[in-house]
Chain A
Amino acid sequence: MPAGTGIAGRAAGSAIGPVERRLLREPAVRRSVAVSVAIGLISAATIVVQAVALAALLTGAMGSATGSVLPPILWLAGAIAIRGLCALAGELVAGRGAEIAKAELRGRLLGAALRRASGGGADGGGVGGGDVATLAGRGIDALDAYIGRCLPDLVLAAAVPIALVAVIGALDWVSAIIVATVLCLFPVFGVLVGRSSGRLAARRWNHVEAFGRQIADIFEGLPVLKAFGRSTRQRERIAEAAEGLRLASLSTLRVAFLSALVLDTLASVSVALVGVPLGLRLLSGSIHLAPALAVLIVAPEVFLPLRRASAEFHESTEGLAAARRAMDVIRDGDGGREGGGAPGERGDALRAGGGATAGSPGPGDPARVPVALCRVRVDLPGRPEPVLDDASLTILPGEKVVLVGLNGAGKSTTLSLLLGFIAPSSGAVTVGGMDLRGLDAQAWRRRLSYLSERPTLITGSLAENLRLADPAAGDARLREVLGQMGAGDLLASLPQGLDTQLGVGGRQVSAGERQRIALARAVLRDASLQLLDEPTSHLDDATETTVVEALDRALSGRSALIVTHRQAVVRLADRVVTLERGRFVAADGADLAGAAAAGLPGPLW
């Protein structure tokens, strides 16, 4: 929803259905909602008890008998006590249930997100990974009210009126029929009003949205407006758009509130419809006062859950949207794993063994045996053409291969294949002639080091971040690799040196610093095959030169596959390879741009 459309938006957003069914199929959600509904029903029962007790008290008082008022008072007190407890229990159940459901959903979302993030690499499947992360993080919190209050209230809106009509029926069946008739009228009226008002509201809603967009647009473009000396004049446009928004919203609301009007009116009219006949029947003596009074007190309560649910529903749009996105992601994630025919079969990055079974043979050492992609084909979701098609590449022991190519050509996908994050849909990745799929993934990855295209740091100290690659490395070794990768002065500038906290996601360091830390981390690992994705991005020319020299030394005796678009990195290469229509082709290292562009059908941009 674009900014600028809130108030009217909540009211007009009622066009979508209120229940996300897939969410209700989650066991944790279902349990929580069921308990909440049970508590709601008990609470409704106390209202009936209260009504009957009050009616008994009043008729008792008016009757000639001076009989004890104590029993009904005790019933009344009991009902109120239990209702208070229901309120307390209701909040606890809602809070706990929402928390459990969120934890469960978050876990599954995270699983889906991890599969995406590590499965597709940065080339394709990683798209949207950031959104999923945000959804699993903050987005899910929007479910609190939805699971805790909104869903139970929706169920109660169906259950409580029916139960109360049954109770009224037990007291006086004529009134029950009247209330039930009004209750049935409600959806009829609701549909009639809803349909005509919905169409009207939708049309006006477009105006509201347009004005909202206009306002947000001006605010977002404020720096530009200011630079061109136009910002003072835009104040009038904001005023105009704001006034337009006000009028449009108001006319939307005029229509949108009609359904509330119908509900309110039906609720109060039902009291009159029940009350007046009751009065006339009392007159004729065909009913006693006590049940009549009880019916009168219970009658408005029949409609209360409906009104609460409709109010709740207007506020649930955010939670509903979050639920819908969450279930979409989870379904996609599951589908990607289960769909046997789905192209680009994914390895489950979380499962320790990858695709391998226990007791699989240990993988060969790339320092001694060649690593090869043999006629692999990789399809990624959302890409009509295979990313790699009949592609073959061999990395000999100790060989440094530099891979160049345009964005999206399949460079990062190649690294994902070698890391075992994804498996080819045909062909094979082999280590010393053995298919990677038959090898123990954990053991294989112990032989690798990896620098991602977008390296990440985790919350913790600089040392902890580096030791991700090699937990046994001593401080001296950490300092040494940092120095090699041009991060010596960075280390010196940090107040607590290696123990300096880098903040969540390494927020406290710049992109260039992050790159150098991640590089140091990659070379710190004693791995015989180094997979480096854009090792010198975010670095200035001088640092790049230093880093390339250091890499030259650090990589000696190891094999490496280095993805790059920088000319300076090419001097590390024993061989330069480019990707052309999904295949690896030998390239000329002297002219990188030309080599990368060779595979292009059209102009660069």
Chain B
Amino acid sequence: MRRAEDRRSSALRLSRSAGPPARRDLGTAAGAGALSAACAIGLLATSGWLLTRASQRPPVFDLAVAIGAVQAFALGRGVTRYMERLAVHGISLETLSRLRLWLYDTVEPLVPDGLRAARTGPDAAASRAAGSLLSGFVADTEDVTEALAKSTTITIDMGASILLGTAVAALLDPVAGAILLAATAGVIAVSILGARIGRSAAGRGATIRAELADQVVETVRSAPELVAFGRQDLITARLEDARRRARTAALRQALGRGIARALATWAAGAGLIGVVLAGLAAHRAGQLSGIMLTVLVLVSVAALDQGSLLPAALTGRATGNAAASRLAELARLELPVREPLADASPPVGRGGAVLDHVEVLAPGARRAASRPAHAVPTAPVPTAPILHDVSLTVAPGRRVALIGRSGAGKSSALHVLLHFLEASSGSARIGEVDVRLMTRTGMARQVAWLAEETHLFAATVADNLRLARPEAAEDELVAVLDQVGLGAWYHSLPGGMATVLGAGGRDLSAGERQRLGMARALLSGAELLLLDEPTAHLDPWSSAHVIAELLGSAGSRSVLVVSHEPGVAGQVDEIITLDAGRVVPSMPTA
């Protein structure tokens, strides 16, 4: 089940794996970039020629061509650069589209349990909910393409101007051409070396900064208790220490960058002096006219100027590569389940579910070694199975509650039934059919799932509901809203079924959101409902009420509900307690 193995990933390599860029666009970009560089060099060369020649007082006629060329180059420069920019961004936007699809194809089979071992960007660490995790990766695809756009532009610009500059210089004086080439090579080498040193320093710096950030967050969160206990001195001391280390790391990084930039400046400067000396020697030897000496020097100045862009380009590449390696790592994650090709589920849901001696191993257990250094937990890596020999039966039409501490494996049990997680031994069956033999579409006929927090799409009420059954008629939608107690809410909506919900749409309270989720589940027609802490985000008083209503609306369907809510006890046929992945023997309730 393991996919492509390649450890280091650059933004370029990752974007290639999503498909090569269109050759035509790359050609346009390179062509426009080369023209733009030619204009820049031509502008300085011709105007230098113009001035020097003019100082010899020739007839005006001699200067006419040069004057025209100067103006043409001046106007051409901006236009060609504009074309180049557009072409490069065209390519990178196309790459972005393809990367998004690639991401979808990569992530779709992993969601949700396969992502548990995923490494996330710096900001996603705080909120590891599946949703924000995924938008973090979507943002990563942008970083990758942005870095790509930037480095493509600079590669084109630098390459073109160095090649053109060196060519012109070599034509005028071979020695000067060689010096120019050597100097630009020196600039590039120094910049790359600096970037490489900077990257390792940045890696260390990032770890230290992350520690500092963690300390700060911890300080703020624990402030009331520390102040109450009179121990604020303790945390300020620690914070000061983390701050000092972050500062040292930052200074070291700045020193590395500064040395690299200084060396690049000096390399370019040495090149310029070399060119000047070589040109002067050629001029004295009578091989180079004074006019051409001016042209040579000005062309060299223009070509060497481009080198100053390099360090910035390399920094941008580092950001892109970090994002790229996070994305590439996704492709290496183990798939949590193997989806069947053919569907063996019955055409109509029957309800009822069985977990039969199910064992599930921790997803991170086998991959613990590959975690990033700063995330290595100080407590033991949990290697115990998530579920251990769990058996439970939900007979058709019965309601079973699954309770237990957080981390006891309640959600995992539901995920095994949903075939989000694969049992390493034992089996899960819905309506007497093994879930491993059901396709997603088949499974959706059998079972509906209500998560802790219902995701509402930025779409109309109707669309959000029809997700469960596209062919549902409008009166069916209204009926199901009534059933979950959203009748009055629905009638208060200005746009009725066409009211837009979700991001940028109408705000819903946590209770309304969960009821809508339940309506969706009921509409699906599935006979088995899996409710995963449906009121976790509600305050305790509302929670009791909402869960009673949700269960009340379930009718004759089979229900397996995970809940902390004590009130759930009176509304189910059986309570099963899980502890550390095992079923705790318990007494049946009335």
Report the Cα distance A442→B130, complex, angstroms: 43
Are the C-beta atoms of B234 and A503 separated by less than 8 Å? Answer: no
Are the C-beta atoms of B101 and A239 separated by less than 8 Å? Answer: yes
Q: Which residue of A lies closest to B110 (CB)?
A: A222
By Cβ-Cβ distance, the 9 closest A-B pairs, closest first, are A95-B254, A80-B269, A265-B78, A91-B258, A229-B444, A137-B213, A6-B142, A62-B290, A501-B378
Which listed residue (B50, B81, B234, B455) contacts A223, Cβ 8 A?
B455
Given contacts A7-B149, A268-B77, contact A99 B216 (CB under 8 A): no
Centre residue among A96, A224, A249 by max chain B CB count within 10 A: A224
* A406 within 8 A of partner (CB): yes
Q: Which residue of B lies closest to A10 (CB)?
A: B146
Report the Cα distance A272→B66, complex, angstroms: 11
Are the C-beta atoms of A268 and B78 separated by less than 8 Å? Answer: yes
> What's the nearest-Cβ distance from chain A to residue B548, in Å?
11
Which listed residue (B134, B225, B247, B272) contacts A219, Cβ 8 A?
B134
* B215 within 8 A of partner (CB): yes
Are the C-beta atoms of A114 and B379 separated by less than 8 Å? Answer: no
Given contacts A279-B51, A296-B51, contact A76 B276 (CB under 8 A): yes
Name B465-506 residues within 8 Å CB distance of A.
467-468, 502-504
Within 8 Å CB of A375, what residues of B? none
Which listed residue (B52, B111, B130, B135) contacts A58, Cβ 8 A?
B52
* A282 within 8 A of partner (CB): yes
Which of the 9-residue segments A193-201, A209-217, A335-343, A547-555 touches chain B? A209-217
Interface size class of B (residues with CB under 8 A): 35 or more
> What's the nearest-Cβ distance from chain A to residue B462, in Å?
15
- Beta-carbon contacts of B194-228 to A below 8 Å, as 1s and 0s? 00000000000000011111111111111111111
Known: A76-B276, A250-B90, A605-B541. 19 other contacts (CB 8 A): A6-B143, A6-B145, A84-B265, A90-B261, A94-B254, A137-B213, A141-B209, A220-B455, A229-B442, A235-B104, A238-B104, A261-B81, A263-B78, A265-B77, A268-B78, A407-B539, A448-B228, A455-B225, A459-B218
Report the Cα distance A446→B404, complex, angstroms: 37
Within 8 Å CB of B111, what residues of A? 222-223, 226, 231
Centre residue among A58, A117, A276 by max chain B CB count within 10 A: A58
Which listed residue (B81, B100, B253, B442) contacts A215, Cβ 8 A?
B100
* B368 within 8 A of partner (CB): no
Are the C-beta atoms of B258 and A246 separated by less than 8 Å? Answer: no
Given contacts A80-B269, A113-B220, contact A88 B262 (CB under 8 A): yes
Report the Cα distance A231→B85, complex, angstroms: 36
Which listed residue (A222, A296, A455, A500) contacts B107, Cβ 8 A?
A222
Are the C-beta atoms of B92 and A500 separated by less than 8 Å? Answer: no
Within 8 Å CB of B448, what residues of A? 227-228
* A264 within 8 A of partner (CB): yes
Within 8 Å CB of A487, what residues of B? none
Within 8 Å CB of B440, what residues of A? 226, 229, 231-232
Q: Which residue of B lies closest to A456 (CB)?
A: B222
* A22 within 8 A of partner (CB): no
Instruction: Label chain A's interface by main secondary structure.
Output: helix
Centre residue among B50, B101, B407 by max chain A CB count within 10 A: B50
Report the Cα distance A89→B243, complex, angstroms: 23
Are the C-beta atoms of B221 and A133 separated by less than 8 Å? Answer: yes
Report the Cα distance A156→B224, complex, angstroms: 45
- Beta-carbon contacts of B44-87 to A below 8 Å, as 1s and 0s? 10011011111101101001001100110111011101100110
- Beta-carbon contacts of A456-475 to B below 8 Å, as 1s and 0s? 11110000000011000000
Q: Which residue of B lies closest to A98 (CB)?
A: B250
Q: Which residue of A lies closest to B242 (CB)?
A: A459
Report the Cα distance A103→B511, complex, angstroms: 42
Are the C-beta atoms of B70 and A275 separated by less than 8 Å? Answer: yes
Given contacts A6-B139, A219-B134, A605-B542, contact A419 B47 (CB under 8 A): no
Name B436-473 residues within 8 Å CB distance of A.
439-445, 447-449, 451, 454-455, 457-458, 467-468
Are the C-beta atoms of B94 and A525 separated by less than 8 Å? Answer: no
* A478 within 8 A of partner (CB): no
Given contacts A114-B220, A293-B294, contact A282 B74 (CB under 8 A): no
Report the Cα distance A219→B259, complex, angstroms: 43
* A502 within 8 A of partner (CB): yes
Given contacts A257-B85, A541-B566, contact A596 B541 (CB under 8 A): yes
Within 8 Å CB of A279, what residues of B? 47, 50-51, 53-54, 63, 66-67
Are the C-beta atoms of B273 and A76 separated by less than 8 Å? Answer: yes
Q: Which residue of B lies closest to A141 (CB)?
A: B209
Are the C-beta atoms of B94 and A246 separated by less than 8 Å? Answer: yes
Are the C-beta atoms of A508 and B377 separated by less than 8 Å? Answer: yes
Name B128-161 residues within 8 Å CB distance of A.
130-132, 134-139, 142-143, 145-146, 149
For the complex, count residues of A whose C-beta is within 8 A of B.
159
Are the C-beta atoms of B266 and A80 separated by less than 8 Å? Answer: yes
Report the Cα distance A289→B223, complex, angstroms: 71
* B280 within 8 A of partner (CB): yes
Given contacts A80-B272, A500-B379, A505-B214, contact A269 B74 (CB under 8 A): yes
Q: Which residue of B lies closest to A494 (CB)?
A: B379
Within 8 Å CB of B538, what residues of A? 605
Are the C-beta atoms of A275 and B262 separated by less than 8 Å? Answer: no
> What's the nearest-Cβ distance from chain A to residue B180, in Å?
15
Within 8 Å CB of B44, what residues of A? 271, 296, 300
Within 8 Å CB of A222, what residues of B? 107-108, 111-112, 130, 134
Given contacts A6-B142, A279-B66, A283-B54, contact A261 B78 (CB under 8 A): yes
Are the C-beta atoms of B257 and A406 separated by less than 8 Å? Answer: no
Are the C-beta atoms of B218 and A452 separated by less than 8 Å? Answer: no
Within 8 Å CB of B209, what residues of A? 138, 141
> Could you write out 17 A-B pairs with CB less than 8 Å apart?
A6-B143, A80-B270, A87-B262, A88-B261, A89-B258, A117-B224, A118-B223, A137-B214, A215-B100, A215-B138, A223-B111, A261-B82, A275-B50, A283-B58, A296-B51, A468-B226, A540-B564
- Beta-carbon contacts of A375-405 to B below 8 Å, as 1s and 0s? 0000000000000000000000000000000
* B93 within 8 A of partner (CB): yes
Which listed residue (A7, A226, A297) contacts B146, Cβ 8 A?
A7
Which listed residue (B134, B258, B458) contacts A213, Cβ 8 A?
B458
Report the Cα distance A269→B146, complex, angstroms: 30
* B373 within 8 A of partner (CB): no
Report the Cα distance A432→B159, complex, angstroms: 82
Within 8 Å CB of B246, what residues of A? 99
Within 8 Å CB of A540, what residues of B? 403-405, 564, 577
Centre residue among B230, B379, B577 by max chain A CB count within 10 A: B379
Are the C-beta atoms of A220 and B131 separated by less than 8 Å? Answer: yes
Name B255-279 residues within 8 Å CB distance of A.
255, 257-259, 261-266, 268-270, 272-273, 276-277
Which listed residue (A58, A228, A275, A407) contacts B467, Cβ 8 A?
A228
Are the C-beta atoms of B60 and A283 separated by less than 8 Å? Answer: yes
Are the C-beta atoms of B63 and A604 separated by less than 8 Å? Answer: no
> What's the nearest-Cβ distance from chain B to residue A404, in Å?
10
Q: Which residue of A lies closest to B279 (CB)?
A: A61
Which listed residue (A7, A81, A141, A538) contacts B93, Cβ 8 A?
A7
Report the Cα distance A76→B228, complex, angstroms: 66
Within 8 Å CB of B269, what residues of A? 76-77, 80-81, 83-84
Report the Cα distance A5→B143, complex, angstroms: 11
Within 8 Å CB of B254, what residues of A? 91-92, 94-96
Report the Cα distance A529→B47, complex, angstroms: 87
Within 8 Å CB of B135, what residues of A? 3, 216, 219-220
* A253 within 8 A of partner (CB): yes
Are the C-beta atoms of A445 and B227 separated by less than 8 Å? Answer: yes
> What's the nearest-Cβ distance from chain A to residue B531, in Å?
12
* A57 within 8 A of partner (CB): yes
> What's the nearest-Cβ distance from chain A to residue B279, in Å?
8
Are the C-beta atoms of B467 and A224 separated by less than 8 Å? Answer: yes
Are the C-beta atoms of B100 and A136 separated by less than 8 Å? Answer: no
Are the C-beta atoms of A228 and B468 separated by less than 8 Å? Answer: yes
Within 8 Å CB of A4, what residues of B? 138, 142
Report the Cα distance A104→B295, complex, angstroms: 52
